């Protein structure tokens, strides 16, 4: 596989078959899918590291890899997400845990997630450009011909097909395609880690924090920011734990407000909650965690009814198993469940642009309703949609019919039980 580079009329022109924009969970999976399908693949990421929210926002648990079940721990599908999860668990020294209502998740170390992304880029022969932000697109009718970089307008990347994994429909918007803003935006959050905590039972610790936050509020010396504090499940290790702090939905400087609020909350915990009297702040996530963004128009659209009805379809290329989890200004998420031990399928057309013939998308931004995305945005499902979009984009770039990619993806998804 080769990615070529040439100087044409003063411009550097890099050419590949599949270009992936955004190196979060979805983009990494898309790059693996495209490269494994035999396409020369380039992955462009704005930050200096891979993983997006999973590493930069220190999310800490992979949801959506398993069916919801009180009885057993069963992968939602075979294929790339499962293999990624197994490898991540080994690297992090963790295993899947069960939470309320039979929900299962995999705790992980953000550094291990980043290492795994880098290892896969190396192993799969993916051409990686980190610290490079896409800022423009050249369009010819219904085809995106090339993209340009923010700090180097003279560098253009041209590809047969493009997969937009920016989490915000950036490529679609820059190309003049149709994007929809969420009707109901979700609250962002910032994650931080503390060490030197004296109580390591997560249930006891949670109760202590809740009790002291309520007591302070009753005594008139509380801080409303503390009411939106929750623990990252599975993060209690040695004397450390990670916490998620909800931020206001209407805020135009999330980074500044997030950091200010972490300072206030850490101050409250160390002075007001006994388990924290010797504790210190060890890290704040480099990126604020942004849950919702713009979404592109697709040839099909995943609806709320399809998610809640656990819909199956002939062109389903990825599976989702997480409930609709919506974070607004309240302290915890609003959960809407579909049947346990079941999953829904995401149709190929929801990952394919209706405006441009050579554009695909995946992750937390594809053609879906607000509630459907509130389920499909979890990392396990982002890995699944990313891998599927990468395979489909590669298939198109080497001139094979879309049905071939869909058939191949569907057979990869079949669980061992179904295959037997
Ligand atoms: C606070 C919070 C807690 C969460 N908790 C969980 C959880 O416990 N479990 C779970 O499974 N999921 C959780 N999620 C959801 C999950 O983390 C994200 O939805 C998922 O990681 C999104 O992956 P993605 O690849 O679609 O997008 P991202 O991870 O956002 O990746 C998009 C990438 O595109 C890059 N990019 C953007 N624009 C450009 C550009 N112009 N040029 C180049 N690159 C660009 C970005 O830098 C980024 O790396 C949480 C999310 C948040 C915010």
pLDDT (mean) for 362-387 = 98
Q: What is the pLDDT of residues 127-169, one digit of tens each?
A: 999 999 999 999 999 999 999 998 776 789 999 999 999 999 9
- With residue 43 as reference, give the H or E element that holds it: strand 41-45
Q: What share of the chain is helix, strand, coil (3-state, %, to 5)?
A: 35, 30, 40
Structure tokens at 279: 């504790």
The pLDDT of residue 2 is above 80: no
Residues whose CB falls within 8 Å of the CB of residue 119, separated by 6 or more in sequence, listed in order: none
Which of 295, 299, 294, 302 is CA-nearest to residue 356? 299
The pLDDT of residue 8 is above 70: no
Ligand 1 centre from 184 Cα, in Å? 18
Q: What is the pLDDT of residues 105-120, one digit of tens each?
A: 999 999 999 999 999 9
The pLDDT of residue 419 is above 90: no
Q: What is the pLDDT of residues 243-259, one digit of tens each?
A: 999 999 988 899 999 99
Please report the pLDDT score of residue 291 as a whole number. Answer: 93
Q: At 73, is the pLDDT very low, low, confident or very high (cuts 50, 70, 90)? A: very high
Q: What is the pLDDT of residues 165-215, one digit of tens each?
A: 999 999 999 999 999 999 999 999 999 999 999 998 999 999 999 999 999
Ligand 1 centre from 291 Cα, in Å? 8
Q: At 420, is the pLDDT very low, low, confident or very high (cuts 50, 70, 90)? A: very low
Cβ 60 vs Cβ 48: under 8 Å? no
Please report the pLDDT score of residue 414 as a whole number. Answer: 83
Testing ligand 1's pocket by substitution, the residue of 21, 23, 24, 132 carrying the most ligand atoms inside 8 A of its CB is: 24
Testing ligand 1's pocket by substitution, the residue of 56, 63, 166, 370 carrying the most ligand atoms inside 8 A of its CB is: 166
DSSP one-letter string for 126-164 = -EEEES--EEEEEEETTEEEEEEETTEEEEEEEEEEEEE
Between CA 309 and CA 327 the distance in angstroms is 22
Between CA 357 and CA 42 the distance in angstroms is 19
Ligand 1 centre from 25 Cα, in Å? 7
Say yes or no: CB of residue 406 within 6 Å of ligand 1: no
Say yes or no: CB of residue 66 within 6 Å of ligand 1: no
Say yes or no: CB of residue 62 within 6 Å of ligand 1: yes
The pLDDT of residue 82 is above 90: yes
Q: Of all atoms in ligand 1, which is nearest to the CA of residue 362?
A: 26
CA-proximal residue: ligand 1, atom 14 (nearest): 378
Say yes or no: CB of residue 348 within 6 Å of ligand 1: no
Say yes or no: CB of residue 63 within 6 Å of ligand 1: yes
Ligand 1 centre from 22 Cα, in Å? 9
CA-proximal residue: ligand 1, atom 4 (nearest): 59
All structural domains of the chain, each given as residue ranges with its CATH number in brackets, are 4-184+292-419 (3.50.50.60), 189-284 (3.30.70)
Please report the pLDDT score of residue 59 as a whole number. Answer: 95
Q: What percent of the chain has pLDDT over 70?
A: 96
Residues whose CB falls within 8 Å of the CB of residue 157, separated by 6 or more in sequence, listed in order: 13, 14, 15, 16, 19, 42, 44, 146, 147, 148, 149
Describe the crossing of helices 254-272 and 202-218 by its angle, rounded to 10 degrees: 90
Testing ligand 1's pocket by substitution, the residue of 52, 148, 230, 362 carrying the most ligand atoms inside 8 A of its CB is: 52
């Amino acid at each position: 596989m080769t990615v070529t580079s040439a100087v044409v009329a003063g411009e550097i022109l890099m050419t590949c078959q599949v270009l992936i924009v955004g190196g979060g969970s979805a983009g990494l999976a898309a790059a693996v899918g495209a490269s494994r399908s035999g396409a020369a693949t380039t992955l462009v990421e704005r930050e200096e590291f891979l993983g997006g929210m999973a590493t930069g926002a220190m999310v800490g648990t992979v949801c959506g890899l398993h069916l919801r079940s009180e009885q057993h721990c069963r992968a939602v599908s075979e294929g790339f997400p499962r293999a990624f999860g197994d490898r991540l668990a080994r690297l992090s020294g963790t295993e899947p845990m069960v939470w309320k209502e039979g929900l299962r998740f995999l705790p992980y170390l953000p550094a291990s997630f980043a290492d795994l992304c880098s290892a896969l880029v190396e192993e799969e022969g993916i051409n990686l450009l980190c610290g490079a932000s896409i800022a423009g697109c050249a369009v010819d009718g219904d085809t995106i011909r090339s993209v340009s970089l923010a700090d180097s307008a003279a560098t253009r990347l041209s590809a047969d097909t493009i997969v937009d994994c920016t989490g915000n429909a950036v490529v679609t918007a820059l190309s003049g395609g149709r994007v929809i803003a969420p009707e109901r935006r979700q609250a962002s959050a910032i994650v931080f880690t503390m060490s030197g905590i004296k109580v390591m039972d997560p249930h006891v610790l949670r109760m202590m924090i809740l009790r002291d936050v309520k007591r302070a509020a009753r005594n008139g010396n509380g801080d409303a920011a503390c009411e939106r504090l929750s623990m990252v499940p599975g993060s209690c290790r040695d004397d450390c734990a990670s916490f998620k702090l909800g931020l206001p939905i209407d805020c135009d400087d999330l980074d500044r407000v997030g950091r200010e609020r972490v300072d206030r909350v850490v101050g409250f915990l160390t002075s007001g909650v006994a388990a924290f009297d010797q504790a210190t702040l060890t890290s704040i996530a480099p990126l604020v965690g942004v849950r919702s963004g713009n979404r592109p128009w697709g040839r099909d659209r995943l609806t709320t009814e399809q998610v809640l009805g656990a819909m199956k379809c002939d062109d389903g290329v990825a599976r989702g198993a997480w409930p609709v989890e919506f974070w607004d200004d309240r302290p915890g998420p609003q959960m809407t469940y579909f049947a346990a031990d079941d999953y829904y399928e995401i149709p190929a057309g929801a990952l394919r642009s209706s405006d441009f013939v050579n554009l695909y998308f995946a992750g937390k931004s594809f053609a879906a309703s607000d509630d459907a995305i509130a389920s499909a945005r979890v990392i396990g499902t982002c890995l699944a949609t990313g891998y599927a979009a990468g395979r489909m984009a590669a298939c198109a770039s080497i001139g094979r019919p879309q049905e071939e990619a869909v058939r191949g993806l569907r057979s990869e998804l079949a669980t061992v039980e179904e295959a037997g």
